[in-house]
A and B are shown apart, each in its own frame.
Chain A
Amino acid sequence: MGITRRQFFGWMSAAIGSQMVFRPDAKAASTHYFTGYADSMGVLHDISRCIGCRKCEAACNQVNDLPRPERPFDDLTIMENHRRPHADTYTIVNKFTLPGVDAPIYVKKQCNHCQEPACVSACFVKALKKTKTGAVEYDASLCVGCRYCMIACPFNIPAYEYDNAFTPEVTKCTLCQPRIENGKLPGCVEICPKEALTFGTREKLIELARQRIRNYPDRYIHHIYGEHEMGGTSWLYLSPAPFADLGMREDLGVTPAPALTSGALAAVPVVVSLWIVFLTGIHAISKRKEQTAEKEKQAAIDEILMVQQEKLNKTVAQLKEKAKSEQAAAVKQEVEKALAAAEKDADQADSASDHPGNQEEK
């Protein structure tokens, strides 16, 4: 990888610069916190006032043009089952008979329109949005149908049209946003004969709920469900009995859903930046190690070769020396032999010539 230092700095500043230019609203670790849009609307459900007439269910069915249910809305026995909203029912009322309490308690259930909704943060195509007026809106034209919103919702509200093969949608209460825009009340609020449902700005509703608890401390549990649950919801509840006994979970905590995932999301750019450094670094180290090992191997081989060569040279030299001396010795020997032979010959010649000489002398 031939990266020059200049290229490296160029890329790094481009990466950091793009983060700073395009993400001016990044504030993961700041002290900023969100308490909801000002003047956003909500509904206060006073459970103690509900008589279980199911008129809200019928009104919801009507204003949303939903198919007629199998069992009519005046069949009140259906409330014995603890139901949840489904594809063609955006709201339901369940009946709870608590031990030691004579009258049954009726609780309405629908989308709570969270201040910072889990479904909105979970949607990977922004098909769900929290509007400034309070409603959590669904845009079917974007929805892929992954159903992660249904997984994410702590209240088990969104439903799916599983039997629709070609245009299935996620369905849930819309807070009657279209009616609100036309200056009307949500269908369920408008029809409620006992004023168990009150529509208004969330701030006002919280004040109203506090006032009711203050005025009738014996009638209510001293808690406004939805004021802080999961970071707060647009629907708020007052109850004469513990919420947990009415199918409303009290163990959800007060952390808004997006805060649960912000850490993991924040790790993404860190992993990308660091992994590039680490992985190229490790690659460079292992490559260098390999090269060093190769060099050292070569050096060792060279050294061994050199030593061997030297040894060889020495041996050759020694051998040469030896051969030379042996040769010299051989030559010497030969010379000596030849000399000796020559001497002998000479002697013989001498003695041969001595004879006639001797004879001459004689």
Chain B
Amino acid sequence: MAHPTPRAKTLFTPFNVITGIILLAGAVLTVLRFTKGIGAVTNLDDNNPWGIWIGFDLLCGVALAAGGYVTCAACYIFGLKKFRCAVRPAILTAFLGYALVVLALHYDVGRPWRLPYPIFFSQGTSSLLFEVALCVFLYLSVLFLEFTPAAFEWLNWRRARHIIGKISLVLVIFGIILSTLHQSSLGALFLIVPSKLHPLWHSGYIAVYFFISSIFAGMAMVIFEHAIVDRFLHDEIDEEHHIESNTVALGFARSAAFLMMGYLMIQAIGIAIDNDWHYLATGWGLWYLFEMIGFVAIPALVYAVGVREHNIRLLQWTSGWVVFGIILNRMNISLVAFNWQLPSDQRYFPSFPEIMTTVFIVTIGIVAFKWIATRMPVLHVHPDFPDDH
């Protein structure tokens, strides 16, 4: 420490110690992964080529980063000006979320240095994964641009801040289109495996399921994240954000309650169209109903109650519940109900290093969010740029 400051004294906070240990472990695993190969750290095999690095890091990461486009749509397209305070934290979360998705893919794919191939070198346009790759690449760029105003204000680059403000609406519209496409195509990836994914989760509508559930996942994430930020980064939040965050929670919870009920209806339609009713009476059916009732129907009702009674605390808890439900859904589709017909000894369960790598990547996200939110005008308005949000 060249400049001992008062902050240096508090360097060994519980937060720093725990994240430090995780980051160190992650560094070791990174070296292992890139010198010994995927097989050295994962439980992946030829029947189970996708594990939690895809099921959690990619599918859940993208779904939970949906708050970015949902909040932008609410504020700039539907003109709900009171949601403005939620835009910057949601964009930051989305940007970090997508950046980490791409980082995680570097661990998962065999030759990560070829990740630009599908976009620049050899386009496999018949693949839904190509659509996902292209959209994620473009959307990450859009999110980066959408986040730059906060960085420019922090750096006091007024001209750049002014220019980016001019194209913000175009960016928002582009971002929503790209999100619609890749959120849904992540589900459509599984259209090609009717013989491997359990019929209760496999449906011709799976792309629509992924899109709709990403909307309420994004809303829940915005509410839940504000609760966390309010608890741990309280000093960064200004009065306007404090007041408006309640409006955001009530508005999003109300919309999410309706959306989740609509989602249940299209799930039922999907089962009716494929005539999969008889599966409901099996063990898989119980697991499916557990997901749909326990993590969609009931939280939707609790949302409705919370909105009626203006109980923000209840809405925040319910949002955590919904977020968990989305994770359960994505894991069910990619891991639990995938390869359901294989004998149990050929099924996949993640290895400890695999789980730790995922924890490592999530930790990078949390540290980055904290670093940025304590420096740039994300949770508060910059005094020099009061109306430029």
By a beta-carbon cutoff of 8 Å, the part of chain A in contact with chain B is 1, 84-87, 118, 120-127, 142-148, 150-152, 154, 156, 158-165, 167-169, 249, 251-253, 257-258, 260-261, 263-265, 267-268, 271-272, 275-276, 279-280, 282-283, 286-287, 289-290
Q: Which chain B residues in 261-310 approach chain A with CB under 8 Å?
A: none
Which A-chain residue is minimally distant from B40 (CB atoms)? A163
Contact A1 B78 (CB under 8 A): no
Q: How many residues of B contact A (CB 8 A)?
A: 59
B9 within 8 A of A: no
Contact A260 B194 (CB under 8 A): yes
Query: Could you say which of A145, A257, A280 has the most chain B C-beta atoms within 10 Å of its C-beta?
Result: A145
Which A-chain residue is minimally distant from B343 (CB atoms)? A82
Smallest CB separation, B55 vs chain A (Å): 11
State in angstroms the CA–CA spacing of A279 and B50 once bound together. 35
Task: Identify 25 residue pairs between A and B in the complex whose beta-carbon atoms are under 8 Å apart, listed by A's number.
Answer: A121-B127, A121-B192, A125-B117, A125-B118, A126-B122, A126-B124, A127-B122, A143-B111, A145-B110, A148-B127, A152-B192, A160-B49, A162-B38, A163-B39, A165-B35, A165-B40, A169-B110, A257-B192, A263-B204, A264-B207, A265-B125, A275-B177, A279-B73, A282-B78, A286-B78
B7 within 8 A of A: no
Which A-chain residue is minimally distant from B41 (CB atoms)? A162
Contact A123 B128 (CB under 8 A): no
B191 within 8 A of A: yes
Contact B128 A162 (CB under 8 A): no
Contact B192 A84 (CB under 8 A): no
B5 within 8 A of A: no
State in angstroms the CA–CA spacing of A87 and B49 once bound together. 13
State in angstroms the CA–CA spacing of A265 and B118 once bound together. 16
Q: Which chain B residues in 56-105 approach chain A with CB under 8 Å?
A: 73, 76-79
A-B interface, 7 closest residue pairs, ranked by CB to CB distance from nearest: A145-B110, A162-B39, A286-B79, A147-B49, A165-B37, A124-B130, A264-B188
Contact A84 B177 (CB under 8 A): no
Smallest CB separation, B321 vs chain A (Å): 30
State in angstroms the CA–CA spacing of A265 and B129 once bound together. 11
Chain A residues, Cβ within 8 Å of B78? 282, 286
State in angstroms the CA–CA spacing of A151 and B191 once bound together. 11
State in angstroms the CA–CA spacing of A143 and B111 once bound together. 8
Contact B79 A283 (CB under 8 A): yes
Q: A144-B109, A290-B79 are in contact. List 17 more A-B contacts (CB 8 A).
A: A118-B192, A122-B127, A122-B192, A124-B130, A142-B121, A144-B114, A146-B108, A150-B46, A156-B46, A158-B46, A163-B38, A168-B111, A261-B192, A265-B131, A271-B181, A279-B176, A283-B79
